[in-house]
A and B are shown apart, each in its own frame.
Chain A
Amino acid sequence: MAERVEPGTSDMRLRMAGVSKRFGATIALQDVTIEAAPGSVLALVGENGAGKSTLMKVLSGAIKPDAGKMWLDGQPYRPGNPLDARRAGVAMIYQELSLAPHLTVEENIMLGMEPSVLGIVRWNQVRRRAVEAIREFRNPELTPRARVSRLSVGSQQLVEIARALAIGCRVLVLDEPTSSLTRQDVERLFDIIDRLKEQGKAVVYISHFIEEVKRVADKITVLRDGRVAGNSDVASITTDQIIAQMVGRQVEDLYPRSKRYPGQVILDVEKLAGLEKPVSAGLKLRRGEVLGIAGLIGAGRTELLRCIFGLDPVRSGKIKLGLYTGPASPVKRWAQGAGILSEDRKEEGLALELSISDNMTLSRLEGFGPFGMVIPSRQDKAARRWIHKLGIRCRTPRQSVQSLSGGNQQRVALARLLQHGVDVLLLDEPTRGIDVAAKAVIYKLIDELACAHPPKAVLMVSSYLPELLGVCDRIAVMCRGRLGPTYDITEVDEHSLMTEATGQSSGLLTEETNK
């Protein structure tokens, strides 16, 4: 099934030329041209709203361009709908996986194209073809009969890739494939991408992580405001140049850092254990500082924040928040001056159908009218202040949150903590899946909070090490539910943090002596 073609010696596997698309008065794409050779990886980067998703929707036949042409292996390609695209060999794998969780791996791989006779599925054939598709991955977790819901996210993604391979795809589009993967899964995915290249597939790789792009891609196309802002060999471009192309300006100070004056300890956690995770965690958070928690996904960092905030049950250990000792419910934590930002703004962080005002004020509805009344116009007034301060792009505070872009949604979620006026901010992946501009706003805000009068305390979980190193004053690493010692920012670098996060350093052993 794999025809081997040397990159560069033949025509392009995929070519989209002069693609334009307008929505009403808005130009979503203007004269965009991209190419991917067989056996190569084309990275597509750009801020949210730059046009990546629209371009991929054109490629998958979900929307029709106003102008422009597409070719697959030199043949004109005009998909009428996503099914056409799949049949032509263009497979898309989105950030949100589209698997049926109750079905097995083999059922998912062959879903919609089960070989059958008179409507009766020929299971032996299903199995054979599924096994064929997953054999390549050499992943022990991936067996044909396994239920998809039992698999890790990384393995689920492989099931989707296997499905794409089973239909004989020529072009594979991966949209933010690593955003919810562990480090090992990311490496495994890169290996598989390398193997797909050997088979002559063209891979279009969309990502926010520029380091990752540089590791996996051959060519890189940068989109900005619906236009191609740059087109280069990965080997010949630096990260700074890529960022400059993305934002159209030099990002000099992505991580502002004012002089900070750490004060008294406001959150004191000792040997905290939850039902499963964390196993044991201790930390001291002071006013006027930003404490970062690094670690792999699944290390128990989210659970640590949730235990502190009373969202998950605490099995043992001590939590002291300000003057209050012991575990407490979220209701009490808000009253005690702590607030949490969820890592999952769609499922947990925000009520998407509700308005910006309602979302910002939900944790504290007092003070919006006499006799405990909540007067909507006063909520709006409070919301407008944060809309202005954080530069949220919206028409009105009454607009539902689901109509905002990811970056703006995250600002709304963060504004809730500001509106509440909390002293301790527990931020779980505050910049996940948002564009550089929104990230910059959030980094600046965190710095301002740490230097406010009186200064706030920020406990921040992130999987993105440059961000932690840029924003935090001190960092601790979590590994398999255990929180390691806290280091000053000057004592660590990406390498040492990653070593500890993967459980290879002595940090694990010294953890018990650290309180």
Chain B
Amino acid sequence: MTEEKLISQQAQIFEPNWKRWLNTLGPLLALLLVYGVIAVRAPSSFTTIRNLETIARQTTIVGMAALGMTLIIISGGIDLSVGSIVALSTAVIAWLLQKAGAGPLTAALGGVAAGALCGLMNGVLITALRVVPFIVTLGMMLVIRGTAIGIGNEQKIDVDIERLKWLDELMASLPKEQAWMLLPVGVWLLIIMAAAVAFLLRYTRLGRHIFAIGSNEETARLCGVSVWRVKVIVFMLGGAFAGLAGLMQFSRLTVGDPTVAKGLELDVIAAVVIGGGSLSGGEGSILGTIVGALIMTVIASGCTQMGVPIFWQQIITGVIIIVAVALDRLRHRRSA
């Protein structure tokens, strides 16, 4: 074994640099490839600036939730309650606006806080009960969904237009006079948050600790990392980002819908995994995740414009998930 490693170690000296570039930029190249293929086939409306904006807007909800999921997956966990948190967040925002008479900012923060609280519970249950994240968040998925439906009294919560103020503009296409903003506020928020999380992962102790726990929890413990604290923080951030995704969802629907975003967690996990995240932890990147989310939206958008039936979209997305991960494994086997 050791000789092999020494040898591969020496072989790597001659390994060209472009290979390492390829590893980091792999998902990005895949995105360009998918976009290019569709651009050739699809009607010209696909390549318009307007459609690019639409794609960006459509990516925002999954992308926002996927930021938190990236942290969770790098730390070696998983969160199945994301879709439910999004629904709860929309319900809480609508309830605050309509029933509690809160202002838009209070309501928005309330939605995010509700998400963070759910994440906190996930984290505390996982570390205190020592039950694996899969099971805890599977349970919480139902608990949170139930709570959301309870808040809405088993109905959608409608909000009067005049109470919304700016809340319905976050995700809307920009009107002419605001064209200088280039992208809607919600998309900017995603970009800023993505940059912030990428910074957190790369340049902070918390970020290094998240990678260490995902790579080897025992080592992290041995090195004096407070493993339970990091995990609770990570799940709380995951919940908060899901709450933020809920805000985006609400902005799009302008209604508190407790039944919305069913199965969203799978799209979110898929985005992270396509982007190079490893479900066994220790690997993943924000750039990859965002690209992963974009790939899925581009396919959806392209298929719609080409008139490809929905079922084909699902089949194609499924195939891409498997191929992406298989390619990743192949790369690992080479470099291991």
Contacts and interface: CB of A to CB of B under 8 A. Distances in A.
Interface of A: 23-26, 28, 48-54, 311, 329-331, 333-335, 340, 342, 347-354, 358-359, 362-363, 365-366, 369, 372-376, 393-395, 399, 402-406, 416
Contacts of B211: 351, 354, 358
Interface string B1-35: 11111111111111000000000000000000000
A368 B10 CA distance: 30
B9 A404 contact: yes
B185 interface: no
Contacts of A393: 6, 9
Interface stretch (B120-128, B219-227, B305-313): B219-227
Contacts of A395: 9, 12-13
Nearest to B1: A53
Nearest to A24: B11
Interface of B: 1-14, 202-205, 207-209, 211-212, 215-216, 218-226, 282-283, 335-336
A409 to B, nearest CB: 10
Nearest to A348: B218
A372 B9 CA distance: 33
Given A348-B219, A351-B212, A352-B216, A53 B3 contact: yes
A330 B215 contact: no
Nearest to A376: B202
A26 B2 CA distance: 14
B204 A362 contact: no
B279 to A, nearest CB: 14
A25 B14 CA distance: 10
A353 B211 CA distance: 9
A358 B3 contact: no
B203 A331 contact: no
A402 B218 CA distance: 16
A3 B212 CA distance: 55
Given A350-B219, A352-B216, A54 B205 contact: no
A335 to B, nearest CB: 8
A484 B82 CA distance: 56
A32 B2 CA distance: 18
Contacts of B3: 28, 48-54
A372 B204 contact: yes
A374 B204 contact: yes
25 contacts: A23-B7, A23-B8, A26-B7, A26-B11, A51-B3, A53-B3, A54-B4, A311-B221, A335-B224, A347-B216, A351-B219, A352-B215, A352-B216, A354-B212, A354-B282, A358-B208, A362-B225, A365-B205, A369-B203, A373-B203, A374-B205, A399-B9, A402-B5, A403-B336, A405-B5
B208 A365 contact: yes
Nearest to A345: B219
Given A349-B219, A416-B223, A405 B2 contact: yes
Contacts of A365: 205, 208-209
B203 A53 contact: no
A402 B336 contact: yes
A362 B220 contact: yes
A374 B199 CA distance: 10
A74 B2 CA distance: 31
Given A348-B219, A351-B215, A403 B14 contact: no
Contacts of A54: 3-4
10 A-B pairs closest in CB distance: A351-B215, A334-B224, A363-B223, A348-B218, A351-B216, A23-B7, A362-B223, A365-B205, A331-B224, A48-B2
